[in-house]
Amino acid sequence: MIHIPLWKRILVVCVVTFSFLLCVPSFLNTEQRENLNSILPSWIPAEAVSLGLDLQGGSYMLLEADIPSVIKQKLEDAQVAIRTELRNEKIDLKSLLVDPEGLSIEVNHLDHKEFVRKAIRAADENLTIAEDGQKITAQYDEKARKVISDQTMSQSIEIVSRRVNESGTKEPIIQRQGENRILVQLPGINDPEHVKKLLGKTAKLTFHLVSADSESISVRSVPMRGSPSESIPLHRRPLLTGDMLVNAQPSFQEGAPVVSFKLNAAGARRFCSVTTENVGKPFAVVLDNEVITAPRINEPICGGNAVISGNFTVQESSDTAVLLRAGALPTSLTVVEERSVGPSLGSDSVKAGRTASIVAFFLICGFICMNYGLFGVFASVALLVNMAMIMALLAMIQATLTLPGIAGVILTMGMAVDANVLIFERIREEVRGGRSIMAAMDIGYDKAMASITDSNLTTLISGIILYVVGTGPIKGFAVTMAIGIVTSLFSAIMLTRLMLIIWMRVTKPKTLPL
């Protein structure tokens, strides 16, 4: 009991020092943090704790993905593939229709059914085929629809995350909710409409030759340089698609904002070939089913680098580049719920949380000092250090602190003192049993350790389960509680013991003030 190795003493001092040092930035404003960063060595992170939506204000959006449109598009793609395959086999059909349930095919001759089955399997192997005379149906069963839904949601969440992160939003929360919805929380966002526009666009980029033949489609153009909006006939099949893009950046050309982009090797070859074969013809750039520019091809464009020009503002060119870099959403996302938390409300929450923490701290300290005297003072000092350690760790890992997170911090205050209570009560029992001061303290720490470990371990397991299966605020509560358990064990066992040993060596008490 009397001897604690030097490395443990150094460890305790270093941990306490760095904890107070790392938690200081959380109580400073941005300018003060920058000044602190200029003073501290570069290897010491001077990061503040990130505040959640409920503490600093921001936007909450619930987006709904249009899964039926994805299934319909897949069926239409399969329809085109089947028709092309059968046309190559010189097989005519009575009908080939798409309905909400799937594909409905009617053959002229029963001998053609085998060719149709092969064409369906080649188009999409996930389609389930059923036959009734000359009629063949191809549908997605429940399992296939679930796979399509999961893939669509995963891709949508990934792209939404990229767009939000590239827009400069810090610590966003983006997660799936239910079968077809995505929860987006944007702390500190002052312009939610801007982010909402980024999330709402599908960013489907295609390149078409302008043509008015029988295979053309008409696409509305965006007014460019003051010209009125009009419909432009385009080749139905795109010559290039957005998945051939490697990168896209906002830029300037002749003083006007443009979007410069780079194609991959396959796209560069295709673009070079198309522009070489169609010099003098207009070439339309279509973004989200709107022609944003239709320049004339003056010369072959090889090398894979080009620009998209139009009537862009600087912000629009930047947003378009973000959309293209992030990729195309597999389906449209509709905002079904939107809420905003003002900074004043968030500030009120911070004040309320701070007040609750301070009140809890002083009530706990007052209670333990009344019951355990000087030992209670040591436990209170350890509790203060414990709070500093929690804030330091939250800042280091850049965890987001929410109101439930503050509740977790307050809960760990009681748990931190609980370990000391177990130790102190055990020491009291040993003193009453006639043991000496040193023996009582030795046994008190040794015998209480099993109970402390069991209670904290079971609580830590609960916190881990909450983090794994929980979402949003529940995760925040679990993180702060788990961090608090670890720091409370350190402060109650190592720090309090060190303080008691120093006190004993200095005062050499005859009785314990306990």
Residue 292 in contact with residue 286, Cβ under 8 Å? yes
CA atoms of 181 and 171, how far apart (whole Å):
20
Nearest 5°: the CA angle 117, 119, 120 is 65
Q: What are phi and psi of 109, to 5 degrees?
A: -135, 145
Contacts of 372 (CB under 8 A, 6+ apart): 379, 420, 424, 514
In angstroms, the CA 511 to CA 435 distance is 11
Q: Which amino acid is at 358?
A: I
Instruction: Provide the angle, in degrees to the nearest 10, between the axes of the packed helices 314-326 and 142-166.
Output: 140
* Residue 358, both tokens: 């301070």
Identify residue 507 by its one-letter amino acid code.
Answer: T
Distance CA 471, CA 400 (A): 13
When the candidates are 3.40.1000, 1.10.287, 3.30.70, 3.30.479, the CATH number that belongs to 67-143 is 3.30.70
The single residue listed with the structure tokens 């195309």 is 328
Domain boundaries, the chain: 6-57+343-507, 60-66+149-338, 67-143
pLDDT 10s digit of each residue in the chain, 514 long? 456 778 888 888 888 888 888 887 777 766 777 776 667 666 666 677 777 777 777 788 888 999 998 898 888 888 888 888 888 878 888 888 888 788 888 888 888 888 888 888 888 888 898 888 888 889 999 999 998 998 888 878 877 887 777 665 566 778 888 889 998 887 777 666 777 776 766 666 778 888 766 454 555 554 643 444 567 788 777 777 766 777 778 888 888 888 888 888 778 888 888 888 888 888 787 776 777 777 778 788 888 887 877 677 887 787 777 766 666 677 888 888 887 776 666 677 778 878 888 888 899 889 888 888 888 898 899 999 988 888 888 888 877 777 888 888 888 888 888 888 888 888 888 888 888 888 888 888 888 888 888 888 888 898 889 888 876 678 778 888 888 888 888 888 888 888 888 888 888 887 777 6
Confirm or reject CATH 3.40.50.10470 for domain 60-66+149-338, answering yes or no. Answer: no
Residues 6+ apart with CB under 8 A from 354: none
HSE (CB half, 13 Å, CA atoms) of 194?
16
**CATH classification code of 6-57+343-507:** 1.20.1640
